Amino acid sequence: MSSVLGIGCDIAGVERFRKWVSSPAMIARFFNSKEILYDSSASEQRLCEHYAVRFAAKEAFSKALGTGLSGFDLRDVYIVKDKNSRPFVAVQGRAREVLEKICGKNCSVHVSLSHEKEYAMAFVVIEG
């Protein structure tokens, strides 16, 4: 029987990411290459929402884990989509090690994302 091992929620202001989208170095510092949006037709607003919701997910994951953002690289926690475009949290490297140490090797990480013009929100549940 599985149980909830942790929950985390975070909200991010989309406007905060305007300066980030014009700085490839900032994007590369916090986001895994698998979550970087390379769509040249995407509007600045779309890019800001994309990165804001993913950053909120990283924060929500760290809260669910109970570690805060320390102990692992933020690029090791990233959002990808399955074949049905459903988002899920992928975890690798040191973040995977910390997750398995705290929650066990067979835990599952669930995520819900939402964004609109001004805010992006993520909710994460770790189950084991």
Query: Is residue 1's pLDDT more than 80?
Result: no
The CATH-assigned architecture of domain 4-127 is: Alpha-Beta Complex (3.90)
15: tokens are 């406007």
SS (H, E, C) the chain: CCCEEEEEEEEEEHHHHHHHHCCHHHHHHHCCHHHCCCCCCCCHHHHHHHHHHHHHHHHHHHHHHCCCCCCCCHHHEEEEECCCCCEEEEECHHHHHHHHHHHCCCCEEEEEEEECCCEEEEEEEEEC
Active-site position among 34, 50, 58, 63 = 63
Q: Is 115 a catalytic residue?
A: yes
Active-site position among 19, 34, 105, 115 = 115
Q: Is 63 a catalytic residue?
A: yes
- In the chain, where are the structural domains located? 4-127
Supply the mean pLDDT for the chain.
95
Residue with tokens 């804001």: 52
pLDDT at 3: 95
CA–chain centroid gap for 13, Å, is 15
pLDDT in tens, 28-73: 999 999 999 888 899 999 999 999 999 999 999 999 999 988 889 9
CA–CA gap between residue 8 and residue 53 (Å, rounded): 14
Burial of 88 (0-12, 13-18, 19+ CB in 10 A): middle
pLDDT at 2: 84
As annotated, the binding site for Mg(2+) includes: 10, 59
As annotated, the binding site includes: 10, 59
pLDDT at 68: 87
In this prediction, residues 2-20 reach a mean pLDDT of 96
pTM of the model: 0.94
The neighbour count for residue 6, using CB atoms within 10 Å, is: 21
